Amino acid sequence: MLNPDLSAIVTPLTAPFVEEPAKWLVLFAPPVRRALRPDNAAAFALAVGFGFAVLEFWTQAASMIGVEAYREQWLWVSLTQPIAWLLGPFVHGGLVFFFANRLAQGRSLWSGALIGIGLHFALNAALTVRWGGPPLLRATLKTLSAIVAVGVCLILAIALARGFGAGLRKPTRGKRSD
């Protein structure tokens, strides 16, 4: 069993290296890979993010049931967890978007992989590490994690809008109706 302080450092370091590749695997499934295009990469990333978030939150909820500290803080958990459950799928989708977009374009995957892992690490580190120091520093780190989360969601929203817009602008083939 790891020391709690060491565990607080190891968890944010390792989770992105496990979770992000797990999400990438879905994109390599033959039906998904055949359907993945640059104009729909954001939609696929969002679907993968939602699926991953459902599994993640189900696991977290199951592990929280038996922990006395969560039962004692039921009000706090009841007020904060729904926010995480609403934001989580979009954040996970946004983190996998960089990889999905590169894959859809047939370009090197390294930059998409590193961006997703790096942002995931930054978000986890700011949210889970028990930071020492003055309260202002801790509050700043929490604020930065919120900015990363919102930024990832905005990038995904813009990509979704551009993808859907590109789909609307595609010329139709066949006879003209005039």
- How would residue 123 be classed by pLDDT, with cut points 50, 70 and 90? confident
pLDDT tops 70 at residue 135? no
> Are 148 and 119 in contact, with CB atoms under 8 Å apart?
yes
54 is a domain residue:
yes
The residue range of the domain holding 30 is: 4-166
178 is a domain residue:
no
The least confident of 16-30, 81-95, 131-145 is 131-145
172 is a domain residue:
no
175 is a domain residue:
no
* Nearest one of 28, 13, 14, 26 to 55, comparing CA atoms: 26
pLDDT tops 50 at residue 160? yes
177 is a domain residue:
no
pLDDT at 29: 95
Is 18 or 147 the better-scoring residue by pLDDT? 18
Work out how many domains the chain is built from and give that number: 1
- How would residue 178 be classed by pLDDT, with cut points 50, 70 and 90? very low
47 is a domain residue:
yes
- Whole-number Å distance between alpha carbons of 11 and 176: 59
76 is a domain residue:
yes
174 is a domain residue:
no
> Are 87 and 81 in contact, with CB atoms under 8 Å apart?
no
Is 42 or 125 the better-scoring residue by pLDDT? 42
